[in-house]
Amino acid sequence: MFYLDLFRALQKHKVQYVVVGGIAINLHGVERATMDVDLVLAMDEANLQRFLRAAAELDLKPSLPVKIESLCNAAQLDEWVREKHMIAFCLRPPSKTAPSIDIIVQPKVSFKTMYRNRIEKDIGGVRFQLASIDDLIALKTDTGRNQDASDIIALNKVKQILAEGR
């Protein structure tokens, strides 16, 4: 299963990351179709090098004709965000049926905050880091996207259910 392989590789290489986007919303109990895995990484050099090792193990390649090492070039990423309005650095696995991996390069909520608020999950001995409901809501607020507005409503319902202890 690609998801478990991904999280296993991230765990093995000690990558600091947080799962955001549709997968995170699913794991909080909201049914939502998604075609990718959205991650936020600690963007320091050591963590990015660990991520590159995990990506190499999974044979992930950028969807654009750039080198994967571009992810480590903060100036290049800043330029792409500024000039091309890039939100995510997209990677594709070799299997056509596996989801793409989007590395969110400049999230509205800092990695440090999301990592501090993360929820750790375990599926079959594979641990992964999940963004908190509040951080997901903050990431999706004021994006202008209908899907994000729907996600916020659903996540607030989950928060209410959890608060009521149901």
State the CATH number of the domain containing residue 39: 3.30.460.40
The DSSP 8-state label assigned to residue 95 in this structure reads S
Question: Domain for residue 154, yes or no?
Answer: no
Question: Domain for residue 149, yes or no?
Answer: no
Quick one: pLDDT at residue 74?
93
Pairing mode, strands 126-130 and 119-123: antiparallel
Q: Is the pLDDT of residue 166 over 80?
A: no
- Residue 98: CA atoms inside 13 Å, Cβ hemisphere, count? 18
Instruction: Write down the pTM of the prediction.
Output: 0.93
Q: From CA 54, how far away is CA 163, in angstroms rounded? A: 37
Domain count, the chain: 1
Question: Domain for residue 137, yes or no?
Answer: no
Question: Domain for residue 162, yes or no?
Answer: no
Question: Domain for residue 151, yes or no?
Answer: no
pLDDT confidence bin for 14, thresholds 50/70/90 = very high
Q: Which domain holds residue 85?
A: 2-132
How far the first Cα of the chain sits from its last, in Å, is: 31
pLDDT in tens, 97-121: 899 999 999 999 999 999 999 999 9
Q: From CA 151, how far away is CA 144, in angstroms rounded? A: 12
pLDDT confidence bin for 33, thresholds 50/70/90 = confident
